Amino acid sequence: MTRALFIVDVQNDFTEGGALAVAGGDAVAEAVSTYLAGHAGDYAVIVASRDWHDPDSDNDGHIALTGEPDYVATWPVHCIADTAGAEYDPLLVTDAVTHHVRKGQGVSGYSVFDGTTGDGEAIADVLAARGVTDIDVTGIATDYCVRVSALDALARGFHVRVFTDLIAGVAEAPSEAALAELAQAGTDLEVSA
């Protein structure tokens, strides 16, 4: 078994004080950093993803530039490339990250698999090249990008664990529904060791 860790969208705009702040986001950043300090060596690949939306674009309808967002398919302006909001939360220590992935560049991208590394490599290719069979998922938000990334990994044949103590969701009910859906689909829901 060769394992990868996904750290999904632990960014300033998704943590306290950000454009789309998730309660508990800073705590997730800190907890993931603590986990990495003791477990980075357990992983062949450690991927940190970030929304990295194009400025002055609705990014294929993802960002509501005019009118009110519906908070389902359209969102307020967030995680614009090269802005403070798109940067990692300062409590997230990224020294052990092997691959930084940017997603949502001109499009609506929720899954880590939708993004590419700095050299344009698809994360699926990175995982295949290293023989990854298992993926552990952490990050923000449980009911959106964590959910979609985990489901995408399952659909691609990976064994998936979501660490329930290393995630935070937008809202309680949809986050609980997302975790139930993930469990039903075959995800192992566990507490990080």
- Sheet with 99-103, strands from edge to edge, namely 116-117, 99-103, 45-51, 3-8, 134-140, 159-168, 188-190
Would residue 103 show up in a list of annotated catalytic residues for this protein? yes
Nearest C-alpha neighbor of 139 from the set 173, 112, 118, 104: 112
Would residue 79 show up in a list of annotated catalytic residues for this protein? no
Write down the catalytic residue from 9, 26, 136, 143. Answer: 9
Write down the catalytic residue from 103, 114, 136, 143. Answer: 103
Would residue 188 show up in a list of annotated catalytic residues for this protein? no
Q: How far is it, in rounded angstroms, from Cα 139 to Cα 142? A: 7
**CB-CB contact of 126 with 99 (8 Å):** yes
Q: Could you list the active site residues? A: 9, 103, 145
